[in-house]
Chain A
Amino acid sequence: MELVSVEALSWIVTAMTGIFAGAWLVYDVRNLTTLRGKDFSDPLIRDRCFGYLMGITIAVIGLVGVLRFHGIL
């Protein structure tokens, strides 16, 4: 009792992960660039910077995982 074929499911997960991780990467890189020239002695700025860096890391893991799943990496 399944909804779609196994291959279709793998492509759905690929699309959901790849699109989301790609968009997230662009979003957080853009967020990070907006912090240029800001005062990094402000804890809020530091927290935002760290959060965006972790977002970029997670997005890269997602993209690498998708490529590995399809045997590209």
Chain B
Amino acid sequence: MSAAAITAAPTAAPARRVVSPWNPANAVTASRFLTLPPFVWACAHGYHQYATLFIIICGLLDKVDGLVARIFDCRSQFGELFDAITDGICYGFCLVVVAYFGWAPAIPVALTLLLGLGNSGLRAIYMRRAGRPVNYKSYAMERVVAYTAYLIGFATGNYLVTFFFWGFVPVMVVTILYDAKRMLIDAVPPAPVGGYGSAA
């Protein structure tokens, strides 16, 4: 081997820890889907309090998965994406269910779902622009997601439903408009450094 070939050889990249997708944090995230069948059962039988209980459990598990990821040091890009997708599926599904059983006004629910789908499309475009599957960080959307969980609780608890559902729509519209500008127009920020292991 020539000296030139030796000097041109690429230097070894620093070892990157590999996090399996089969980890405790993702198990907690996945377990949130188990609250959906009993939630539908409670709604179908008119058990408002049980439905409220199941959506509270689903919301608490959303908080616990992040805690488990920190305790077991198993944060990953896949886990973050899986968490966001699970939020969308669980809360979107529950909104449809409460609207179907007449516990929530249909128009704001439909608007919320359309805006949520639009936001997912924007994220897909942003992923292509950024060239990485990292979940888009939005401080405002984190708060909107928490409000969504509460919305379902207000519907199942029959608690000032019209006020909270219609109050939610402008909040979500403003947040998505702001995030759309950031995802479609603004420059893509550099990838986070050293935050995660890679999902195997």
Interface residues of A (CB under 8 A from B): 1-4, 9-10, 13-14, 16-17, 20, 24, 43-44, 47-48, 50-55, 57-58, 61-62, 65, 68-69
Contact = CB atoms under 8 A, between A and B. Distances in A.
A24 B144 CA distance: 13
Nearest to A56: B143
Nearest to B143: A55
A52 B139 contact: yes
Contacts of B49: 2-4, 9
Contacts of B164: 61, 65
Contact of A69 (B138, B147, B159): B159
Given A2-B48, A3-B50, A54-B174, A68 B160 contact: yes
B125 interface: no
Interface of B: 45, 47-50, 52-53, 137-140, 142-144, 146-147, 150, 153-154, 157, 159-160, 163-164, 167-168, 171, 174-175, 178, 182, 186-187, 189
B143 A2 contact: no
B182 A9 contact: no
Main secondary structure of the interface of A (DSSP, over half): helix
B157 A13 contact: yes
Contacts of B160: 65, 68-69
A57 B144 CA distance: 10
Given A3-B53, A13-B159, A47-B138, 19 more contacts: A1-B47, A2-B47, A2-B50, A9-B48, A13-B153, A14-B159, A17-B159, A43-B182, A43-B189, A47-B140, A47-B182, A50-B139, A51-B138, A54-B171, A55-B143, A61-B168, A61-B171, A62-B150, A69-B159
Given A58-B147, A68-B163, A51 B142 contact: yes
A54 B140 contact: yes
Contacts of A17: 150, 159
A70 B189 CA distance: 46
Contact of B167 (A9, A16, A53, A61): A61
Nearest to A52: B139
Contacts of B140: 47, 50-51, 53-55
Instruction: Across the A-B interface, give the 4 residue pairs with the lowest CB-CB distance, nearest first.
Output: A51-B139, A54-B140, A51-B140, A55-B143
A65 B168 CA distance: 12
A72 B174 CA distance: 28
Nearest to B186: A43
Nearest to B172: A54
